[in-house]
Amino acid sequence: MSGNTATLTIGDKAIELPTKSGSVGPTVVDIAPLYKHTGMFTYDPGFTSTASCESQITYIDGDEGVLLYRGYPIEQLAEHGDFLETCYLLLYGELPTAAQKADFDYRVTRHTMVHEQMARFFQGFRRDAHPMAVMVASVGALSAFYHDSTDISDPHQRMISSMRLIAKMPTLAAMAYKYTIGQPFVYPQNNLDYPSNFLRMCFSVPCEDYKPNPILARALDRIFILHADHEQNASTSTVRLAGSSGANPFACIAAGIACLWGPAHGGANEAALKMLQEIGTVDRIPQYIAKAKDKNDPFRLMGFGHRVYKNYDPRAKIMQRTTHEVLNELGHKDDPLLEVALELERIALHDEYFIEKKLYPNIDFYSGITLKAMGFPTSMFTVLFALARTVGWIAQWKEMIEDPSQKIGRPRQLYTGAARRDYVSPAQRR
Ligand code: SDX
């Protein structure tokens, strides 16, 4: 590769492909002209070496364990800011002034109620429905209620739908939880901040007063910040692809929720906690490490490994600190699950297999212990991930919609199926 081009030689033919460099991170080779010049496609299942878009929102350096939101290190945002400040930053690109923050908080707060008929929508589910199934359905159903913010060509409607999604996700998530435990839905309170409102909608009951624990609210707010965005992960790519067809934002976010649900992605926090519960005690860790290393055993250490981070996930470090804070506040500092998690991490980080494959704890390894201690059932863990990631999905969707070069996403394939053949009548089939 030289200057701003890369030369690809195929047989006796050499073609020049333009390259593009970002403000930081790997340079890309623009292969758009490849098919026209060579009649060939590139082949990269899982997109391990493929940049699907240009973005200015989030940067990850997997080798260095760096995560920046609009250039700001995640550690600083989690330490000094709050989740709605991070939402503003991801959506608009700059940290808000005090006046901008006050206005943003005010607008989000006044969109937290959902249409009253949504409550009847929930009645159609069985009480034992997984809350993620309820979230996929109810977020998609928002497009049936808010027709005045589904025209994606109108910047004002895009802004309104963005605010509605950020504001209503906690309300819908709390409704999904309350419905599974047979308790009445709790309306949002405008005098509470974002995390406190969510805690109250989840854990208060009409029979007594409820005062959100400020330490738990701050911890939850920080957990939301850590989960807010993560460049072109599977669910964000799903939202971008759905949005590229012109689908309305509620449908696109519902598609993102569906993708996040998988245990290899956002479902890993639920799977990681179940794994720690299955291991149970420190003495059983070696047999599970052996299973994770056994090629013939599909078992993986949930909450370990990452497609991009080949160093410690910077979010996992902050998550671990938050876990200790919450367990200490709740008097669970001797939680046996934390003991198993800390020992499992210690053993894995010294094991040749994990070192060679650069497998480190990711954000999902500690989040489950924290959320369980706060009183959330495991089935709600990925719901909270989706709640927090909604702003990232929206910011990425907004960036794509506002990109003048945007077109519908339509990958090609390597076809290895049957060549053309003629129909055989049933009588002649063997
Ligand atoms: C999230 O993309 C994102 O940014 C996602 C996310 C976000 O914020 O959006 O960060 C959130 O999804 C975090 C990841 C949560 N998932 C898990 O914790 C599930 C367990 N982890 C793995 O399934 C796996 O590590 C992935 C899916 C996360 C990454 O898989 P890759 O990049 O496709 O890597 P791979 O599966 O090819 O693994 C490389 C090697 C393999 O061994 P070999 O075939 O090369 O011999 O490492 C092994 C794997 O077998 N390996 C593991 C392992 N993860 C990978 N072995 C044991 N335990 C594990 N957890």
> Which residue, judged by its Cα, is nearest atom 32 of ligand 1?
307
How far is the C-alpha of 202 from the C-alpha of 384, rounded, in Å?
12
What is the full per-residue pLDDT of the chain (430 aa) written as tens digits?
566 999 999 999 899 999 999 999 999 999 999 999 999 999 999 999 999 999 999 999 999 999 999 999 999 999 999 999 999 999 999 999 999 999 999 999 999 999 999 999 999 999 999 999 999 999 999 999 888 888 888 999 999 999 999 999 999 999 999 999 999 999 999 999 999 999 999 999 999 999 999 999 999 999 999 999 999 999 999 999 999 999 999 999 999 999 999 999 999 999 999 999 999 999 999 999 999 999 999 999 999 999 999 988 999 999 999 999 999 999 987 888 889 998 999 998 899 999 999 998 899 998 999 999 999 999 999 999 999 999 999 999 999 999 998 999 999 999 999 999 999 999 999 9
Map out the domains of the chain as residue ranges: 5-51, 82-404
C-beta 396 within 6 A of ligand 1: no
With tokens 């924290």, the residue in question is: 370
Helix (H) or strand (E) run with residue 29 in it: strand 28-29
How far is the C-alpha of 396 from the C-alpha of 411, rounded, in Å?
19
User: CA angle, 45 as apex, 41 and 47 as ends, to 5°?
Assistant: 95
How far is the C-alpha of 96 from the C-alpha of 416, rounded, in Å?
52
Residue 83 contacts residue 224 (beta carbons within 8 Å): yes
Nearest to 394 by CA among 143, 163, 93: 163
What rounded mean pLDDT belongs to the chain? 95
DSSP for 2-27, please give it.
BTTEEEEEETTEEEEEEEE--SSS--
> Which residue, judged by its Cα, is nearest atom 26 of ligand 1?
306
- Provide the 8-state DSSP code for 361: B
**Domain 82-404 classification at class level:** mainly alpha
* 45-100 confidence digits (pLDDT tens): 999 999 999 999 999 999 999 999 999 999 999 999 999 999 999 999 999 999 99
Tokens of 285: 């860790």
Sheet holding 5-10, edge to edge: 5-10, 13-20, 28-29
> Which residue, judged by its Cα, is nearest atom 30 of ligand 1?
307
Sheet holding 58-61, edge to edge: 58-61, 66-69, 72-73
Q: How many A from CA of 265 to the centre of ligand 1? A: 9
Q: Identify which of 362, 365, 366, 385 to mutate to test ligand 1's pocket (most ligand atoms within 8 A of the CB).
A: 362
Residue 1 contacts residue 19 (beta carbons within 8 Å): yes
User: CA angle, 200 as apex, 196 and 204 as ends, to 5°?
Assistant: 155
Nearest to 132 by CA among 17, 300, 262: 262
Helix (H) or strand (E) run with residue 66 in it: strand 66-69
Residue 364 annotated as catalytic: yes
End-to-end CA distance of the chain: 55
Pick the CATH number of 5-51 from 3.80.30.20, 3.40.50.1820, 3.40.50.10470, 2.20.28.60: 2.20.28.60
> Which residue, judged by its Cα, is nearest atom 55 of ligand 1?
305
Q: How many A from CA of 360 to the centre of ligand 1? A: 10
> Which residue, judged by its Cα, is nearest atom 33 of ligand 1?
307
Helix (H) or strand (E) run with residue 28 in it: strand 28-29
Q: How many A from CA of 301 to the centre of ligand 1? A: 9
DSSP for 300-356, please give it.
--TTB--SS-SS--HHHHHHHHHHHHHHHHHT-TT-HHHHHHHHHHHHHHT-HHHHH
Q: 3-class SS at 61?
A: strand
How far is the C-alpha of 229 from the C-alpha of 87, rounded, in Å?
10
Question: CA-based Rg of the chain, rounded to a whole angstrom?
Answer: 23
How far is the C-alpha of 314 from the C-alpha of 60, rounded, in Å?
10
From the candidates 130, 227, 230, 306, give the one annotated as an active-site residue.
Answer: 306
Closest ligand 1 atom to residue 313 Cα is 10
C-beta 291 within 6 A of ligand 1: no
SS3 percent helix, strand, coil of the chain, rounded to 5, is 55, 5, 40
User: CA angle, 277 as apex, 386 and 353 as ends, to 5°?
Assistant: 85
pTM score, whole prediction: 0.94
With tokens 């969109």, the residue in question is: 111
How far is the C-alpha of 421 from the C-alpha of 123, rounded, in Å?
51
* 193-244 confidence digits (pLDDT tens): 999 999 999 999 999 999 999 999 999 999 999 999 999 999 999 999 999 9
DSSP for 207-235, please give it.
TS-----HHHHHHHHHHHHHTS--SS-HH
Helix (H) or strand (E) run with residue 258 in it: helix 249-260
Helix (H) or strand (E) run with residue 398 in it: helix 381-401
